[in-house]
Chain A
């Protein structure tokens, strides 16, 4: 089982649960770190592929939090912190319950919202970041598109980077 299309996630909470009070937005604590699916996909080198966005562009949330927001597995959520905002998939965490805590595996998606502050101690604060989560109808970007839209290194003069055609899932370069 070295190749997966997407991580296996459980589906445990019903969305029409009458005991759950629906909200637009929840405040959460964001943790990032490694995860076995992310590790396997990243180190195999499949970072441009759809698989990478499914393993690293994903917020593992408590099922109750997801019910409160009204999002199902593999629907998009917008995560905002003081450092930026990013659209990722939502999925039921296999470590639940951990209400008001979300886990995004390390990767380009998590990078947008983690704190670069090292407090003069060389290590950025990757864990314990305050963030908010809300439902989103935007699509999660593929890695190459995300890097282009966030850092804009080679598209500085473009006005609407998000409207450019996708860079796709394969390396793009001009051969000799």
Chain B
């Protein structure tokens, strides 16, 4: 590991900024600012620091459109917005995807536009914790805030997630290492357990690692539930774990004072999908017959939970909401983005604060090569290679203030520390401007 000199060359410090990376939304960061650039970040993890000290080379600074040869060309804001509005106004099945890395204020404008044109609005939950949301609708949500875990938990279980890679400060700030009111010795007062087929970086630092086999999560959780209910396990090895180990683990889970189960995409991306989460939630419910247990999905983006909360509050459905009939509809597998793309349904795709080029399966992305794509983002990414109109937004939490929801549904105000580049516009302004222009086109056509 190379040694890096501490950063001393800065003008001023902006304290208590919120990190715009993962669902942990750490709100104790200090930005070291020099000449309207963040040159250093204190307290952030490697992921947060690298996002905040962005790559200036690839920052989208000007609106762009493809010419007849398919090359991107710089245009002015009016031209780009008019062209985008024209595409949206004349489309039959527009799909507005993304939103998880922008503010609630921007989603508000986005919902207005979606409702007006009768589009489908969806966010990244559709490719990550969508099954979790379905399971919550099936069997409930034994939720807590992360502060409770910090102050009370004496056993923390991570399954199907690798927070040391994806949420590096989660253990340090909320769950395992901090000293809490009832856990005065911090890490020494807690047992860290990882259930994962892989000897992940989190498993390496755990007290107990349970390496069940691939796709074994469903059977493994059910075996614990069976033991909890006093049933005899009929097989000697279940999901690759010896029977006695399951009985011992169940016993130790029953005998804690406060347990927390965190789960990630390892559960939602395997074949059993939402059924895995159903069982995990029911396991926590069963454990509550003996002691206090809670559960929380490890949400990825800093505002992916915010979109689900906001949409559920406004429209009654968490994601994949379709307005084509004039009223909101939500049908898993029908109005969700990857299914729509697999069926080649959308005729215009607007992507805001997301990167389908990097994160959708190729089979779904193939349809993006056939339809116009409008991108609102801050960096040149894989999606820019598929985008016909590119509108440069601003960086929420660094350049623009906004509201976001942490993974445990606590709303957090993210303040701005520096000014955005002059040629960029706020996401909220761009979406509102699209709405105004689409409205004008539609009304003139009447």
Contact = CB atoms under 8 A, between A and B. Distances in A.
A48 B72 CA distance: 15
B214 A101 contact: yes
Contact of A174 (B73, B215, B368): B73
B265 A126 contact: yes
A112 B362 CA distance: 5
Contact of B339 (A120, A172, A175): A120
A122 B269 CA distance: 10
Contacts of B5: none
A34 B324 CA distance: 34
A120 to B, nearest CB: 3
B375 to A, nearest CB: 13
Nearest to A96: B199
Chain A, interface SS category: loop
Nearest to B273: A121
A122 B332 contact: yes
A111 B74 contact: no
A168 B188 CA distance: 51
Interface string A15-55: 00000000000000101011110011111111111000000
Nearest to A167: B385
Contact of B358 (A44, A107, A118): A107
Interface residues of B, number: 85
Interface residues of A, number: 67
Interface in B290-349: 300, 320, 332-333, 336-339, 341-342
A109 to B, nearest CB: 10
Given A36-B168, A43-B47, A171-B57, 17 more contacts: A1-B1, A43-B50, A47-B358, A47-B382, A48-B380, A95-B199, A111-B361, A116-B342, A119-B273, A121-B273, A123-B126, A123-B131, A127-B266, A154-B70, A173-B72, A175-B74, A176-B73
Interface of B: 1-2, 4, 21, 46-47, 49-51, 53-55, 57-59, 62, 64, 66-67, 69-76, 126-128, 130-131, 134, 162, 164-166, 168, 197-201, 203, 214-215, 265-266, 268-271, 273-274, 300, 320, 332-333, 336-339, 341-342, 355, 357-366, 368-369, 378-382, 384-386
